[in-house]
């Protein structure tokens, strides 16, 4: 049975309460009730202090997994984190609020405060309303009090989970995902598995000659060993990209590296390079699923690539394909956790990865910005279902 036959029911609808960490939910419910708001959301600063990670939310239709990572100083939450001062805004837009989930829920007014533990920034707490609302000083005081209690809770949770080195390492290596890199629009998501983490990674970087490199990779295995190998491969690929323009040559060098220094390790990877004006991209793949492409005049489709073996099984002369990027074209890169999953309904036939890919393709719209695309894919394809394998997602659009 194809999951597409009942796409509306194949993936559970996201519920109004959704969180990465349920320990924060009681305080978020309290914030929502105390301020009479539609939503309450918490973002926590990452280990490097550069990005706010969505941690928990109540009152929104979409799963928290669909929410954006917010670079410090950018958007509503990023401005609060940088200034460490309360802030309220009205009439949300893509310019003043980076998270498309808030806009999709028709949130009109926001009040946010920093979550501080002494002088250390823990994160940002904000509430939102669908109706226009002016927040007063009493609202700010109430939210700051709740933010202080969240800081105390976060401190105890952090000490209890400091052993989770794989997650710390993996998140520290994710790029801050700027909304624009050179002349390209970019969006990304990383959804960790419920159990042992894998070695999934994505990367976006600008090279000295103006080219932009796009990477999606997955180390075979789970836990800290896979995360460590992932970190080494990510760094090595960046180094090789500085010296070699061809994606095929970069993956050949990466193959030599993993074969010599990472005995017994295997990985899949797809690496693309595009130069201004970004009308073409050259892509090489090592055993990885091809990206999906959607253009204004075309249906979503997998990019036709030359499929070479994964990294680590032997030396191969690798190949690359040049793909045209018309204005408005989006490329959607992903790891196998997105499409190699059991059916969410008990007793249903196991869907083929191609079925999941078709469902992902049906969420792609060429006129959407990448952040909105990422949110839609996670909300409609993944939802709040249990995740047995990490999911990395990268969407790049040529305006």
Q: The tokens 């914030």 sit on which residue? A: 31
Q: Which pLDDT score, from 0 to 100, does residue 349 have?
A: 55
Cis peptide before 323 (omega within 30 of 0): no
**H or E element at residue 308:** strand 307-308
Backbone angles phi, psi at 363, to 5 degrees: -85, -15
DSSP assigned state of 380: I
Helix (H, G, I), strand (E, B) or coil at 326: coil
Residue 97 and residue 33: Cα distance in Å, rounded?
23
**DSSP code string of 31-43:** HHHHHT-SEEEEE
**H or E element at residue 373:** helix 370-377
> In this structure, are residues 219 and 266 in contact, taking their beta carbons and an 8 Å threshold?
yes
Residue 26 and residue 69: Cα distance in Å, rounded?
23
Domains of the chain: 3-160 (3.30.450.40), 165-397 (3.60.40.10)
Residue 128 and residue 36: Cα distance in Å, rounded?
9
Angle at 28 between CA 27 and CA 32, to 5 degrees: 115
Helix (H, G, I), strand (E, B) or coil at 169: helix
- Number of C-beta neighbours around residue 346 at 10 A: 6
Angle at 350 between CA 348 and CA 354, to 5 degrees: 130
What would the two tokens of residue 98 be?
A: 């980076």
DSSP assigned state of 163: T
Residue 201 and residue 29: Cα distance in Å, rounded?
33
Averages of pLDDT over runs of 10 residues in the chain (399 residues) are 32 34 85 96 87 91 84 93 95 86 92 94 96 95 95 67 56 71 91 77 95 96 84 95 97 95 93 97 96 90 94 91 95 90 53 74 85 89 81 94
């Amino acid at each position: 049975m194809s999951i597409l036959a009942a796409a509306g029911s194949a993936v559970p609808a996201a519920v109004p309460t959704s969180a990465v960490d349920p320990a924060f939910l009681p305080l978020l419910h309290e914030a929502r009730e105390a301020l009479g708001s539609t939503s309450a959301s918490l973002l926590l600063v990452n280990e490097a202090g550069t990005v706010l990670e969505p941690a928990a939310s109540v009152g929104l239709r979409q799963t928290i997994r669909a929410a954006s990572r917010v670079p410090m100083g950018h958007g509503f939450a990023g401005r609060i984190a940088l200034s460490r001062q309360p802030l309220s805004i009205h009439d949300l837009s893509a310019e003043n609020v980076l998270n498309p989930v808030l806009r999709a829920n028709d949130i009109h007014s926001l009040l946010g405060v920093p979550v501080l533990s002494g002088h250390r920034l823990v994160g940002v707490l904000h509430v939102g309303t669908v109706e226009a609302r002016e927040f007063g000083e009493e609202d700010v005081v109430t939210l700051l009090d709740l933010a202080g209690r969240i800081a105390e809770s976060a401190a105890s949770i952090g000490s209890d989970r400091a052993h989770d080195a794989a997650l710390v390492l993996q998140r520290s290596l994710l790029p801050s995902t700027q909304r624009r890199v050179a002349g390209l629009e970019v969006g990304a998501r990383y959804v960790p598995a419920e159990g042992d983490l894998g070695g999934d990674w994505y990367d976006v970087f600008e090279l000295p000659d103006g080219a932009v490199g796009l990477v999606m990779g997955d180390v075979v295995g789970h836990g800290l060993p896979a995360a460590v190998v992932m970190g080494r491969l990510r760094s090595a690929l960046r180094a090789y990209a500085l010296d070699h323009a061809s994606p095929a040559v970069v993956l050949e060098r990466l193959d030599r590296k993993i074969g010599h220094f990472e005995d017994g390790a295997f990985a899949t990877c797809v690496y693309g390079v595009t130069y201004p004006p970004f009308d073409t991209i050259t892509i090489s793949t090592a055993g990885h699923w091809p990206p999906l492409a959607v253009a204004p005049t075309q249906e979503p489709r997998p990019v036709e690539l030359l499929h070479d073996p994964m990294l680590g099984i032997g030396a191969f002369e690798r190949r690359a394909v040049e793909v045209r990027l018309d204005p408005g074209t989006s490329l959607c890169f992903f790891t196998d956790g997105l499409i190699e999953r059991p059916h969410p309904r008990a007793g249903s036939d196991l869907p083929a990865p191609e079925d999941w890919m078709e469902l992902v393709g049906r969420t792609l719209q060429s006129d959407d910005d990448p952040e909105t695309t990422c949110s839609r894919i996670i909300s409609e394809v993944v939802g709040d279902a249990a995740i047995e394998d990490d999911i990395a997602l990268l969407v790049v659009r040529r305006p």
